[in-house]
Amino acid sequence: MAEDILISLEARHVKNILKGTKTVELRRRRLDLADGARVWMYSKVPRGCVEALGIVEKAVEQHPRRIWREYGKLSGLTLQEFNRYLGDLSVGHVIVFREIRHLKPTLGLEALRKRLGRFQPPQFFKRLAADSRELTIFRSALN
């Protein structure tokens, strides 16, 4: 059974993922995701909502120069932004998505806190238990 995680992203990155102009997510640290994992995406404040789901095609670990060559155009970043983010590392990490789904309705931070109590978006990522209330609510927004 595929696992589910929740990640936090800048709103512009989620917007580009939903438009299809960004099909990979770059990370400084390894997430250890299997093919088929589900990545729920939280757009940071000011949007403040869970609004997308990505299905992982593969997770890649490579030197940043190779990542830029292979995935730079898919990252939604300029070379300068990329270098600021990954340039000082010997190994960077890429999540390649095979499918993206838009959640409707999006799940706003305040609404999630009303339903879940102390919901806090993760700084890096959060694994979601298969029987968690969060995951049940996230799944309810899939069409």
Q: What would the mean pLDDT of 69-87 be, rounded to a whole number? A: 96
* Domain ranges, ordered by start, for the chain: 4-140
Q: Is 118 in a helix, a strand, or coil? A: coil
Report the alpha-carbon distance of residue 80 to residue 51 in Å, rounded: 28
64: its two tokens: 């940043």
CATH superfamily of domain region 4-140 = Hypothetical protein. (2.30.130.30)
Q: What would the mean pLDDT of 93-105 be, rounded to a whole number? A: 97
Q: What would the mean pLDDT of 74-99 be, rounded to a whole number? A: 97
Residue whose token pair is 């298969």: 130
Q: What would the mean pLDDT of 54-73 be, rounded to a whole number? A: 97
113-132 pLDDT tens trace: 999 998 999 998 999 999 99
Residue type, 119: F
Report the alpha-carbon distance of residue 129 to residue 25 in Å, rounded: 22
Report the alpha-carbon distance of residue 125 to residue 56 in Å, rounded: 15
The answer, yes or no, to whether residue 135 has pLDDT greater than 70, is: yes
The answer, yes or no, to whether residue 1 has pLDDT greater than 90, is: no
Q: What would the mean pLDDT of 12-28 be, rounded to a whole number? A: 97
For residue 2, the model assigns a pLDDT of 83
Mean per-residue pLDDT of the chain? 95
The answer, yes or no, to whether residue 143 has pLDDT greater than 90, is: no
